[in-house]
């Protein structure tokens, strides 16, 4: 709660958090605001926005409701972004904590694995993984996480290397605490804030990666996504540009909101450090 209050004090954090809350509310209420399958043919094709009360944002070239697709697409984008970020952060924290605390050969081996994943661009890794494993929601989340966990791992390792030399860690060793207990109870809480500040960047990148995969036809075919909506509008871009502009604008707003929350979170965490020093 204290962190949330600090986040709301910063202008970036307040604006970003309000936007994210609105997006989350819209996504959670999608089945109520736009009931039914968003992929079904609901009316005649290419209805212009704001000309038919039944379809406030018009329809695409197959007659699917753009408003319904936009709301249900928000659920997909936010779910993929948050799940992929959570998976990559957990994996990165575990690898970085193990490497930094164990040191020696364990550190060298794990860091070489991290280097191998950092060499390959995250999007190319996700693209290759989905192409081989098939397009589905869990596969897309796993593919994005595999391309994003290396940065949290390296940051966690750097923080652990600094924290393990502190007096409170030496005191924990003296009183006989188990190394795993020291890592989880003494070191992890102190290295977590900088890694959490990185989470906003990972969420934004995950949302964009999912949209790019869907744009290329590698998203889950059973779910409507903003990327697939943009790709669908590409075929009639000159005659019906709104089909790509509307989901594209939603994607931009979401990424900006996540970025603003990340900026506010960084300031809030730095402020907390200053306040407790």
Q: What is the pLDDT of residues 116-160, one digit of tens each?
A: 998 888 899 999 999 998 888 999 999 999 989 999 999 999 988
Q: Is the pLDDT of residue 220 over 90?
A: no
Give the contacts of 84 (CB within 8 A, at least 6 positions apart): 141, 144, 145, 148, 202, 203, 206, 209, 210
What's the pLDDT at 149? 92
Q: What is the pLDDT of residues 53-97, one digit of tens each?
A: 999 999 998 899 999 999 999 998 889 989 999 999 999 999 999
Nearest to 111 by CA among 178, 160, 173: 160
Q: What is the pLDDT of residues 242-260, one digit of tens each?
A: 999 999 999 999 999 988 8
Query: Where is pLDDT greater, at 110 or 6?
Result: 110
Top CATH class of 2-276 equals mainly alpha
Distance of alpha carbon 184 from alpha carbon 182, whole angstroms: 6
Domain spans in the chain, listed from the N-terminal domain onward? 2-276
Please give the mean pLDDT across all residues of the chain.
Answer: 87
Distance of alpha carbon 61 from alpha carbon 216, whole angstroms: 18
């Amino acid at each position: 709660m204290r962190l949330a209050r600090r986040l709301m004090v910063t202008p970036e954090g307040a604006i970003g958090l309000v936007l994210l809350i609105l997006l989350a509310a819209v996504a959670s209420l999608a089945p109520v605001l736009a009931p039914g399958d968003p992929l079904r043919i609901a009316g005649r094709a290419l209805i212009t926005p704001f000309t038919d009360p039944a379809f406030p944002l018009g329809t695409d070239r197959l007659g699917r409701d753009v408003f319904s697709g936009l709301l249900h697409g928000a659920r997909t984008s936010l779910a993929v972004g948050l799940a992929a970020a959570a998976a990559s952060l957990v994996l990165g924290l575990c690898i970085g904590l193990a490497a930094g605390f164990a040191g020696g050969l364990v550190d060298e081996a794990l860091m070489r694995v991290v280097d191998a994943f950092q060499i390959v661009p995250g999007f190319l890794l996700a693209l290759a993984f989905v192409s081989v494993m098939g397009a589905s929601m869990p596969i897309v989340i796993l593919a994005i996480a595999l391309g994003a966990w290396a940065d949290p791992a390296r940051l966690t390792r750097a923080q652990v290397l600094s924290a393990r030399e502190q007096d409170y860690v030496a005191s924990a060793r003296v009183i006989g605490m188990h190394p795993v207990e020291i890592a989880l109870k003494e070191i992890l809480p102190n290295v977590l804030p900088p890694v959490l500040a990185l989470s906003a960047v990972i969420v934004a990148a995950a949302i964009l990666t999912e949209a790019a995969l869907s744009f290329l036809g590698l998203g889950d075919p059973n779910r409507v996504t903003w990327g697939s909506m943009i790709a669908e509008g590409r075929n009639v871009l000159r005659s019906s540009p709104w089909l790509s502009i509307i989901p594209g604008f939603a994607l931009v707003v979401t990424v900006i909101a996540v970025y603003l929350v990340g900026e506010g979170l960084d300031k809030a965490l730095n402020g907390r450090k200053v306040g407790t020093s």
